[in-house]
Amino acid sequence: MPAQHNDLDDADLAVRSADPSLFNADLAPLPASRRTWGWFAIFNVWSNDIQSLAGYTLAASLFITAGISGWWVFAAILLAGFVIKVLVDLSGRPSVKYGFPYPVLARASMGVRGAQFPAIVRAVVAIFWYGAQTYFASTAIALALDALLGSPGGALFLGMDRVSWVSYVLASVLQVALFLGGIDRIAGFLNIVGPAVYLVMIALLAAIWVQLGPELPRAVSSVFSRSEVTGWAAVSAFAGVTGTMIAYFAAVVINFGDFARNVHTERAMRLGNLTGLPVSLALFTFLSVFITAGAYLLYQDGRGGEPLTNPAEIVALVDNVALTVLAAVTFLVATLGINVVANFIPPSYSLSNISPSRISFRTAGTITAVAGFVIGALWVAVISTIGLPRFVDTLGAVLAPLYGIIVADYYLVRKQRLNLQDLYSADPRGTYWFTDGWNRRAVLAFALAAVFSVLAVWLPQLAGLSGFAWVIGAALGGLFHRIAMRGVTVRSSADDR
């Protein structure tokens, strides 16, 4: 690895020689003096991402629909945590080294102008997630209001009543206010909120376990498993659960550099990823699976009710107003915090990258907020009809080839050496100019891989591959890019001297 002072020298040169059309303060390499995050900040990013209401709903949905023992579902999700840990170690390393966010890294593989393409794709996917998570956060507010007001109900518009709409607007406003506070304030916010979510979930599980006793562990193993799911079908279901959970984190996996650039050492990043992914995911999934099974036996089994996958709805059945309000507030703040980190800040960076001189970070945040509001408002009436697992797999399938391309380019094509000045240069002689600023080979690699990975989710003939869509897309994206870049001369990097 090159000496650290060379990286710092290159960062200073990149800032001073940057083309205005490719540069603003938010896209500039972050100097070491401003990298204040340690491993615990990364741990909390993952812990809170896992703790969101959408995360619980997805884990519970997989537990219900996979058709295999709940313990195997738990093992599959835990395996996904280790896989994601490896993936983000790879995508985060260049940003720890150079201090830039993901959109700048994408310039190395897609071209300094072509990076606008993955920025737009990443932004669109994140806005869809932002809207969905905003809706889930609003259900916590609606839970508290209904508990206090006695569930007034009323006419529905787009599948939501008056309380739901008031809750949705309030959740949207709170997220923007949190975003305006800045990344360090958000990190401090998450440090406080994270443990509170676990306390509420543990209390809810304890209440359920006391009533069910030793029946609960047996229920986890059998309550939603089906006798026909055996042999290869069971293996396929296990792998599908793992693949879908990887796809759930796809948005953060690809742009993890947006967070890693704030970490002072690569070792701190790796430790944060290890403790924040497999460890936190194991605890959260354990609680989710047990609460889902217990709630079904207590409140729905024998009554013909559908299993509940939203913990806010489960809390409401406990019939305790104080507990309901406490749980609602806890789930709300956790979901709001991570939604801003995972689905608001990344598209803001990506949109800003499209035209840095015209679109500031905050302007991009406004665009994200407005577009996300529309998406979330359509969640109940339109988007949710496809089911959360398929929604997750589809968005993951779109993003997967981009991950494969940037990783293959950085590690296999560039050999972990980048010319930092040229990443901010519009000089046609620059390393990453390619053809008019676009690497058309990388765009073609993305298109071919994305078509197949998306078809794996939606084409009935490929239904058996739907849970593998992210893995397939990432592998094909990296493979096609590596093949396409053969014979292309890779010029020496500025730090390779």
Contact between 399 and 250 (Cβ < 8 Å): yes
Predicted confidence pLDDT, tens digits, the chain (497 residues): 444 445 555 566 555 556 677 787 778 888 888 888 899 888 877 877 787 777 778 888 888 888 888 888 889 999 999 999 999 999 999 999 999 988 899 999 999 999 888 878 878 888 888 888 888 888 888 878 887 777 777 788 888 888 999 999 998 888 777 767 666 666 666 666 667 777 778 888 888 888 888 888 888 887 788 777 777 888 888 988 898 888 888 878 888 998 899 998 999 999 999 998 888 888 888 888 888 888 888 876 655 567 777 776 777 776 667 777 777 777 777 777 667 777 777 777 777 767 777 777 778 878 888 888 998 888 888 877 777 777 878 888 888 999 999 999 999 999 999 988 889 888 898 889 999 999 999 999 999 999 999 898 888 877 777 778 888 999 999 999 999 998 766 654 444 43
82, part of any domain = yes
295, part of any domain = yes
265, part of any domain = yes
The closest of 467, 352, 268, 282 to 100, measured between CA atoms, is 352
The amino acid present at 365, given as its one-letter code, is G
Beta bridge partners of 37: 263
Q: What is the Cα–Cα distance from 313 to 328, expressed in whole angstroms?
A: 10
Range of the domain at 342: 4-484
Q: What is the Cα–Cα distance from 24 to 77, expressed in whole angstroms?
A: 39
Angle made by CA atoms 413, 416, 419, in degrees to the nearest 5: 90
Query: pTM score > 0.95 for this model?
Result: no
CA 492 to chain centre: 34
Q: Which residues contact 61 (CB under 8 A, 6 or more apart)?
A: 309, 387, 388, 389
198, part of any domain = yes
490, part of any domain = no
Q: What does each C-alpha distance from 45 to 56, 133, 192, 193, 451 come to in angstroms?
A: 16, 15, 12, 11, 31
90, part of any domain = yes
492, part of any domain = no
Q: Where are the alpha helices (DSSP H) in 318-411?
A: 321-339, 345-354, 361-377, 388-408
Q: Where are the alpha helices (DSSP H) in 150-182?
A: 162-180
Q: Which residue has the tokens 């499209």?
A: 354
497, part of any domain = no
The closest of 449, 271, 324, 365 to 26, measured between CA atoms, is 365
CATH number of the domain where residue 54 is located: 1.10.4160.10
How many domains, the chain? 1
Rg from Cα positions in the chain: 23
